[in-house]
Every structure is written in C-alpha cells, then in structure tokens.
Structure 1
Amino acid sequence: MLPTFVIGLREGLEASLIVGIVAGFLGRQGRRDALRQVWLGVLAAVVICIVVGVVLEIISADLPQAQQEGLETVIGLFAVAMVTYMVVWMRRHSRDLKGELEGAAGQALARGSARALVAMAFLAVLREGFETAVFLLAAFQASTSPGLAGTGAVIGILLAVVLGYGIYRGGVRLNLSRFFRATGVVLVLVAAGLVMTALHTAHEAGWVNFGQRRVADLSWFVLPGTPVSSLVTGVLGIQPYPVLVEVAAWSCYLVPLLVYLLWPQRRLSRRASRADEPSPVS
C-alpha cells in the first residue's frame, strides 16, 4: 500500500501543481473559456492514461505464462527507468519548479496564446498519468495484495488533488524540495525492488539464466500472506530466496541513487556552477 500511495501522491501532486498554476493564470485573466478547455484537456488525459493501463493489464493477463513474465519484466524495467529520470530531474529542479512553471505560463499569456496553456496542462497530466499507470501496473504485479495497493494509489491521488487545490488557493504552503526528496527516497527503494522483481520474472521467462546461485534463505522470515512479506517482497522486492544477480543489481541501483538523492544540495549546486564557469585561458 505504501509504494502505490507514494506513487499516486507524488505524480498526482506534480500534475496538480501544473494544472493549478495554469488555472490560476487563466482565472486572473478572466479567460473562463480557456479554463473550460483546460479541464476538458485534463479529463481527456486522465481517460487516455486509464485506457493505457487497462489495455496493458488485459494484454498481460491473456499471454501464456512465459510471455506474461516477459511482459512484466519489460513493464518493470520501463517503470524503473521512468522513476529514475523523474527523481534525478526533480532533484535538480524542485527548488525552482513553481517559478519556472509560472514563468512559462506568463510567457504564453503574454503572447496571447491560451492554447499553449491548455496544451501544457494536457501534456502534464498525460505525462504524469502515463508514468503513474506504468509504475502502478508494475507495483501491482509485484504486490502480494493488489486490493491494498489499489487503495493506496487512490488515497495518494486524492490527497495530491487536495494539496494541489490548497496550493492553488494559497492556503497550503509546502516545501517542494523537501517533499520531493522524501518521496524520492521511498520511490528509489520501490524502484530497487522492481529491479529485483524484474530480474526474477526475467529468469522465469527464460531470459536471465546466469547468477542464479542463492545467497540467502529468507523463507523463515518472508512468509507468504504476512505483513512482513508485504513489506519485504511487496515493497522492497526481496524474494524468499534471493539470488546473486538480483542482489548485485539491487545494490548497484540503490546505493548510487540514494547517495545522489541525499547528497547536500548546496554541494551539488556549487559543483554545477563551477562546471558552468568558463575555463581560464592560459
């Protein structure tokens, strides 16, 4: 439930922030006609994302076992790639996110282009919704309790909408940098678990047959149907019998990304500014 809650909350809040800023600009300009188009665009993007998720689930369910495991592997790795890009991008832009969005919206209005704002809201919801659909699908496939996973996703998305509306109305102040860093840590843990799960399903699909030596026996600890199993296997992706290739990939993904995510922001900013400075001419 925790992974899907964080996914729904984080992705939903990103989309809510963009839509809220666009709606606020249009409302202050008295462009109610364009505002209606924004809501229609948001609704269309949500419907498209739901359809994509349902189609992927139907295709996966109708495949033979080996091909189903292969598709789950592809979806899992795609979700890992998306969350990695999202975490890295947000690490760099979270402090200035709102200002950048307001600047882009202001420039669009200055050019008299309400369509650009409608497209901005539509594409924002479509992008975040598509990422959410793929990531949630991978999380559902790895979860031991799809019902709880779905409940967590719904609660996270609803909370994101409430927070986004509160920020839009000015009644809620949120430190976006700290928020995205905290949720980023959880998402990195979930993504590392998806790496292990993807390698596990890849082996069952017959794609990965090396590094299958067991490194531990956790069957006494990870009992199916228990809360511990839901946490260790459902969230962290650790199997009752982890093998060498899974543990190695989990470590190689988790450790560097956590170090990057938790490294003090000021040091990263200094290094980036130094890299942008022109080199002295000898």
Structure 2
Amino acid sequence: MFFYPFLIMLREGLEATLIVVLIACYLKKTGQSQWMKYVWIGVISAASLCLALGIAIHIGSGEFPQAEQELFEGIVAVIAVIMLTYMVFWMQNSANSVSITQQVEDALTTRQGPARALLLMVFLAVAREGLESVFFLLSAFSQDVGLQAPIGAVTGLATAIGMGLVLYFAGVRVPLKAFFRWTSLFILFVAAGLAAGAIRAFHEAGLWNHLQALAFNSSEWLSTQSLLGTLLESLLGYQQTPSQSEVLIYVLYLIPALTWFIVKQTMNSQVNTRKSKT
C-alpha cells in the first residue's frame, strides 16, 4: 500500500505545487514579488485546514462500532471515486499555465484588493487539491493499518515539492502533459477498484445484500498472497474472489469512464492540432 498513496500525493501535490510555481514565476517576472507573502499565507492556511480535517475524521472514525466503520469506509470510498473522476476530467479541460496566469492578472487588478484576492485564489486552489487528497488517503489508510501508506504519502508529497523547486529555480522542462495523461488513465482503474470496494463495504455494513454470489475464483492462478496479487490488490483493489456486485460496479464505472477519457483526449488533440496550424 505504498505506491497508491505515493502516486496520489505525487499527482495532487504536483498539481498544487505547479499552481504555486506558476504564480510565483508570474509575480517574479512582472516585478510584483511583494505579493508572494500572501501566496504563502494561502498555501499554509489551506494545508493546515486539510491536515486538521484529515486528522479529525481519521480519529473520529476509529470510535465507530464495526458496522458503522464499514459504512464510513464505503462513504469515503464513494467520495474518493467522485473526486478522482472529477480530478481526471478537470485536468483534461482546464489545467494549463495560460488560464492560471490569467487568474493571477485578474486577482491583482480586482477592486476588492489584490492581496485578498490573490490569497483567496491560492487558498482555494491548494485546498481543492488537499481536500481531494484527504479523502483518497482516508480510503487508503482504512485498508492498511501499517506505516507503508503514510510513508508513501509523505514521500509522494516531498517528491512533488522537490519537482516544483526544480521547475522554479532551474527552469527544467518536464513532460507534464504525458505525466498527467498516463497517471489519469491509471487513476481511473484505481477509482474502479475503490467503487468495487465501496459496494463490498456497504455489504459488510448490512446495507447491500444483492448479487453476493461468487463471480469467479482466481486464487489458483493469481492469489492475493503472491507478489503480483498483492501489488494489484494494493494499487487497483484486485480481489481473488469478488462478488457479482463488485464486478458489476467495477465494469459499470470503468467502461464509461475510459470511453469518455479517450473521447476527451481525442477531442483535445484535435483542438491542439488546429491551433498549431493557425
């Protein structure tokens, strides 16, 4: 359970870091570095809010009886699936440096005061990534009580911050479009596994008792006790003896999500091609 939290925090941390880096670069290039203190206030405030919320929810969930814990885990998994899906398609639509720098310009010229507007913009941007991470990590931590998940999360965040610093100070170009495209594709499979895990948690909580017959048994050729099986279980929610409802939910989520992802990717490629020709 190291790689999933690592990947989530690397991606979410990199998104937030890129926003801060782009804002910092814009302020530096336009000679407005005096506003950077408000950027850092926004970053620290948003990070503190997300950390406090995550700790409060994690501590509070430990006091529930078993059935309520299963229900809580199912609800968190559903929220994580929704946020993962939103994150993937939001990145396809609007994550680019042009839109971010335009938002900075708007913030600095607002009548409500550039400091307050810039602080609010940074706070909301970082808080959005942070709150998404909270629910992803709660879902991961509920499946693993060891240290691998927290270590993976911290390592992923540290890696994202390090990449941001390199981009800011060295100006190194990283193929971010390819990175986000392939991690988005992978995350859709992660979300499908979380959706199947949610229906399993709802069954264990006593809320869902339909289609509980065994769908298949793959323990003889891919056991969750094997290295590959353990890896797939940690990353994608693989189960060697899933119920029919788990398989159904997995397929009902993954096929439409992948189809829409491919359609959007094709549409974006066509738009970029037309822009490059003009």
Query: Same fold judged by TM-score > 0.5?
Result: yes
Identify the residue that residue 23 of structure 2 maps to in structure 1. Answer: 22
Cα offset, 1:31, TM superposition:
4.4
Deviations 1:163-191 (A, max 9, x none): 22222335221233222111111211111
Cα offset, 1:23, TM superposition:
2.1
The alignment covers a number of residue pairs equal to 268
2:230 pairs with 1:230: yes
Residues 69 and 205, structure 1, Cα contact 8 Å, conserved in 2: yes
3-state SS of paired residue (1:62): coil
Q: Which amino acid aligns with 2:64?
A: L
Cα offset, 1:110, TM superposition:
3.6
Residues 142 and 197, structure 1, Cα contact 8 Å, conserved in 2: no
Q: How does 1:1-282 map to 2 (within 5 A)?
A: 1-94=2-95, 97-111=96-110, 113-143=114-144, 146-169=146-169, 171-220=171-220, 221-224=222-225, 226-263=226-263, 265-267=265-267
CA 1:268 to 1:46, structure 2 compared with 1: closer, same or farther past 3 Å? closer
Q: What TM-score results when the alignment is normalised by the length of structure 1?
A: 0.87
Q: Which amino acid aligns with 2:93?
A: R
CA 1:174 to 1:261, structure 2 compared with 1: closer, same or farther past 3 Å? farther
CA 1:209 to 1:264, structure 2 compared with 1: closer, same or farther past 3 Å? closer
Cα offset, 1:149, TM superposition:
1.9
Structure 2 CA distance for aligned equivalents of residues 217 and 266 of structure 1: 37
Cα offset, 1:146, TM superposition:
3.7
Structure 1 CA distance for aligned equivalents of residues 203 and 265 of structure 2: 39
Residues 38 and 115, structure 2, Cα contact 8 Å, conserved in 1: no
Structure 2 CA distance for aligned equivalents of residues 268 and 41 of structure 1: 32
Cα offset, 1:236, TM superposition:
1.5
Structure 1 CA distance for aligned equivalents of residues 219 and 62 of structure 2: 28
Residues 142 and 237, structure 1, Cα contact 8 Å, conserved in 2: no
Cα offset, 1:30, TM superposition:
4.7
Structure 2 CA distance for aligned equivalents of residues 199 and 24 of structure 1: 45
Cα offset, 1:39, TM superposition:
1.1
CA 1:42 to 1:245, structure 2 compared with 1: closer, same or farther past 3 Å? same
Cα offset, 1:129, TM superposition:
0.6
Residues 193 and 236, structure 2, Cα contact 8 Å, conserved in 1: yes
Q: Percent of aligned positions with the same letter in both sequences?
A: 38
3-state SS of paired residue (2:147): helix
| Structure 1: runs of 5+ lacking an equivalent | 272-282
> Which segment drifts farther, 257-266 or 16-25?
257-266
Identify the residue that residue 278 of structure 1 maps to in structure 2. Answer: none
